[in-house]
Chain A
Amino acid sequence: MFRRRQPADADAFGAEVLRYLEPLYATAMRLTRNRADAEDLVQDTLVKAFRFSDKFERGTNLRAWLSTILHNTWRNRVRDAGREAVEVDSTRVEEAEAADGSATSETPEQLLLRNTLDGDLRAALDDLPDVFRQAVWMRDVEEFSYAEIAKALDVPIGTVMSRISRGRRMLLDQLRKTKATA
């Protein structure tokens, strides 16, 4: 189970952690939307990961463990900066859905087939309000469970599901608009 790491272990642990730098940085970029803050966030995450390496349970998913530290760190930073986002931005969802019909009649499957560019997808994600972006990213890109997301974000599971649901709808709406104006 848990045991204090010896130096040889620490070497291996360090090397293993470094394998996940790209996904950690990608997640940090989507959360912060800014390179300098993303770099800070990744480095703070690694400092914590190395400090608390004896808390990592061998054989479990290291990437998920690191990512949870990163999301926790970001949540605390946002909270400390007094930037806690509005719980539910329902006006924006409703506006988005009202505009739904006016954009294009393309179905989600057609959008998929037309091979949405990763850059468009990143831009659409970045356009989501923070809480929706983080929930959707954790669920659909990092594939965390609802319970894991709820724990990392310190909100009830119902809130997580509602954020994922609204976030997904807003995301596709944004992509439809991008396609319509392209």
Chain B
Amino acid sequence: MSECRRIGESLAAYADDMLKPAERSGVERHLAACPECRKHADTERGARRLLRHSSQQLLNEPLPPGLRTRCEALARERSATPLARLGPWWRVRLVPVLLTVVVMIFGASAFFSIATRSSDALLAAQLTADHSKCFKLLGPPDGTSADARNIERMLLEQYGWQIHVPASSAEDDVQLIGARRCLYGDGLVPHVMYRVHGQDVSLFVLPGTARKPDDLVTLGHRSQIWSRDGSTFVLVSAADAGGMANASRYVMREAR
């Protein structure tokens, strides 16, 4: 191994003042005789000093709206009474696991059946699992509203999805609370989150696929499926949620 290469391996520790005295003098002897390595060593020390000098500023990134409130909700769930502590465990661990098992069962049944109905049930089960997971784990708190145009811009800029997101509608008691990229299901899809009459409601958009309209109940949730302009839309809400008719009509009319 050449001397420069050997010294190069010690430069991080040299810049960090972590070398033993004997190693340090060896490095310094080489640096005194080798301008190239000296330059690397200076550069490394400069970067290190610059970063340490700015570390407090770098670590002080303003939080986006809603993140602190969501994290506080996670902390509150955790600090509930011992009996209630089963709650987070149920919600955070067991429910997604059970839903995943159910999804796998549906997946297996779909594998053996080519019936459209079964395919819709599979889709509904997957998205219901996503709906529950996203709201339970990451759902924005009550009272948080989001601007539809900002969400559209975020979905386009960050993920390349161009969709028309139905805005909040006071008339139909629909409150838009956010959107995210859903990591479950068949790939990555936009997941737009609403609250209607205090209930969690999800709109999923599956670009580039068309399906016949369907309306079914899976895992205690109603999934309304429709297509428009080559995309499929699925609206997921609790099956027993009351007063959804106007809200459903509004979202189905507006979503593009």
Contacts and interface: CB of A to CB of B under 8 A. Distances in A.
A14 B12 contact: no
29 contacts: A6-B82, A13-B79, A18-B71, A18-B72, A21-B68, A25-B63, A26-B59, A27-B59, A30-B58, A50-B88, A51-B93, A107-B42, A108-B43, A108-B46, A112-B50, A116-B50, A122-B58, A136-B51, A141-B51, A141-B58, A143-B55, A162-B9, A162-B12, A165-B9, A165-B11, A168-B43, A168-B47, A171-B47, A172-B43
A146 B137 CA distance: 34
Nearest to B52: A140
From DSSP, what is the main secondary structure of chain A's interface residues? helix
B40 interface: yes
Nearest to B66: A39
Given A7-B79, A26-B60, A43 B46 contact: no
Contacts of A36: 154, 158, 180-181
B239 interface: no
Given A121-B58, A168-B43, A161 B13 contact: yes
A111 B77 CA distance: 48
Interface in B14-72: 15-16, 18, 39-40, 42-55, 57-64, 67-68, 70-72
Contacts of A108: 42-43, 45-47, 49-50
Interface in A39-73: 39-40, 42-43, 46-47, 50-51, 53
A161 B10 CA distance: 8
Nearest to B179: A36
B74 interface: yes
Interface of B: 8-9, 11-13, 15-16, 18, 39-40, 42-55, 57-64, 67-68, 70-72, 74-82, 85, 88, 92-93, 137-138, 154, 158, 180-181
B109 to A, nearest CB: 27
Contacts of B81: 7
Contacts of A172: 43-44, 46-47, 50
Contacts of A6: 82
Nearest to B55: A141
Nearest to A141: B55
Nearest to B8: A165
Contacts of B72: 18
Contacts of A51: 88, 92-93
A18 B43 CA distance: 37
Given A7-B85, A141-B58, A169-B40, 5 more contacts: A35-B158, A112-B46, A136-B51, A141-B52, A168-B48
